[in-house]
Structure 1
Amino acid sequence: MSFRFLPDDPVASIKLRPGQTVMVDPSARRGGSCLEVLEGVARVYCPCEETEGMTLAFLQEGDQVRTDRLCSEGICVEALTPLSFRSDAEPQEGVGFDSVNEWTLQLLRIRHLGNAELRLHALLALLVNRLGRRCGQWCDLPFRITHDRIGELIGSTRVTSTRLISKLRNSDQLDTPSGDNNLRLSAALIESAPVLG
C-alpha cells in the first residue's frame, strides 16, 4: 500500500486523483475534528498489516469521518473518483448515524450471506443504491472495483470473484464500457438483490 500522510493542520480542501491515498494518523488529530467529502467517491480502509487493507466504508459528498473514532493505527482514504475533501469540518450533530459505522455494518451483513454469488449480488446492489444512479435499463457506478477488492468485500478469493463477474458479464448483466471508468449493471440485477434491511 502506498499513501502519503494527511497534514496535521486542518485544511479546507484536499484534492486526490483516482488511486491516490492519504493516511489519517489519529494521534496527530485533535478530538472532535472530522473529514468531510466535498466531491467524489472515496474508499476508507484500515492500513493495519493484520487486516490487509480491510474496507470500512465508501463515502460520497457530504459524508464525514470522525477522526476521534479511528483505530489507533489510523485509516486510509483512497480516491475512487476525483476526490475533494476537507479536514477542518465540524462534526454534524444530531445526524443519527455515522457514515463509516453504517457502511461497516452493511458490509459485515453481506459477508454473512450464504454463498459468494449472493454476497456479490448484495454488494453490487449496495454500491449502486448508495453511490450509483439508474440510467434506463442500466445502473451506473461511477468507478470500477478490482476483482481482488470484490473478493475482500465478499469474503472470497480473486479467482471466485473473477468467475462470478464473468458469469454476470456473459449474461449481459454487467458491462465495463471501454475508455470509461464506470461500471454498468443491469437494473433488473440490482432490483432482484437480497434485501439486507
Structure 2
Amino acid sequence: MTLASGIAPEFSQQQRYFQRRDRLPLRRDHLWKIQSGVVRTLTYLENGTVVTLGLWGRGDIVSRVLSKADPYYMECVTPVQAIPVPISEFDNLYPLLIEHIHQLQTFLEIVHSRPVDEALHKLLTLLANKFGSGVSQGQLIEFHLTHQEIAETIGTTRVTVTRLLKEFEQHGIIERLNRQFILLPGHQPFWHYEI
C-alpha cells in the first residue's frame, strides 16, 4: 500500500530536518522529497567557480542520481524538511521526473539569457512564481538569497548583481522588504533592441 504522494507508509515517518547551509546527504539509492524549504543543487568547476544547477522547493525531488555533475551538492538555502525515499519505493516516479526536467529546462533558459539584467529578471520571476506569495505590492519572494548566490545562479559577479538590484529598485521592478524582495507587477527591466 502506498500513500497518494507515491511514498510507501514505512518511509513517510523518516522526515529529516536541516538548517540553512546544511547539505543533504548524497545517497545513490534514494531521492530526497522536499516537504518545506528551498534546496540549491550545485557543483564546482576546476577553477573553483560555483555553478548552481537548480533551486528546488516543496514537492520537488533532488538526488545525486539525477545529475552527472561531479562534484554534486544539495545545499539548504533555508531550513528544510525532507524525506529520504528509496527509488524502489516510488510507485509513479515519472511525473516527478518530468517536472524535474521541466524545471531544469526553465533554469537553463534563465542561466543562458543575455544581457545579464534579463537573466536576473527571469530568475526573480521564477523565484516569485515558485516560492512567492501575493502581497499588496506584488509577489514576495519568501526566502533570502545572497547577492553572491544570485550571481552564481546566473553566471555573473556579485558586484554586477548588487548594481542591477539597485537599478531594478530605482526603476520600480522590485521593492526591498528587509532582506527579501517583492517583484512588482507589470514591469520589464530594460528595453533591448533586436537586429
Bucket of the pairwise TM-score, normalised by the shorter protein: 0.7 to 0.9
Whether contact under 8 Å (1:47, 1:76) holds in the other structure is no
Match of 2:59 in 1: 62
Q: How does 1:24-173 map to 2 (within 5 A)?
A: 24=26, 26=27, 29-30=28-29, 33-47=30-44, 49=46, 52-71=49-68, 73=70, 75-89=72-86, 90-91=89-90, 92-95=92-95, 97-173=97-173
TM-score by length of 1: 0.74
Once the two structures are TM-superposed, the CA of residue 69 in structure 1 deviates from its matched residue by 2.9
Gaps of 5+ in 2: 1-10, 191-195
* Aligned-pair Cα RMSD in Å: 3.0
Match of 2:22 in 1: 20
In the alignment, does 2:182 pair up with 1:184? yes
Whether contact under 8 Å (1:23, 1:74) holds in the other structure is no
| SS of equivalent residue, structure 1 residue 187 | coil
Aligned length: 177
Using the alignment, how far apart are the partners of 2:176 and 2:102 within structure 1?
28
Closer, same or farther: CA 51–133 of 1 in aligned 2, 3 Å = farther
Closer, same or farther: CA 154–73 of 1 in aligned 2, 3 Å = closer
**Structure 1 residue identity aligned to 2:93:** E
Offset from partner CA, 1:79-112 (integer Å, 9 cap, x none): 2222100112544433174444333322221233
TM-score by length of 2: 0.75
The percent of aligned pairs where both chains have the same amino acid is 23
Once the two structures are TM-superposed, the CA of residue 176 in structure 1 deviates from its matched residue by 3.0
Match of 2:193 in 1: none
Once the two structures are TM-superposed, the CA of residue 41 in structure 1 deviates from its matched residue by 1.7
Whether contact under 8 Å (2:43, 2:69) holds in the other structure is no
Whether contact under 8 Å (1:81, 1:142) holds in the other structure is no
Gaps of 5+ in 1: 1-9, 193-197
| SS of equivalent residue, structure 2 residue 165 | helix
Using the alignment, how far apart are the partners of 2:37 and 2:125 within structure 1?
19
| Structure (1 or 2) with the larger CA radius of gyration | 2
Once the two structures are TM-superposed, the CA of residue 119 in structure 1 deviates from its matched residue by 1.2
Offset from partner CA, 1:15-41 (integer Å, 9 cap, x none): 1122322341x5xx33xx311001122
Using the alignment, how far apart are the partners of 1:98 and 1:67 within structure 2?
17
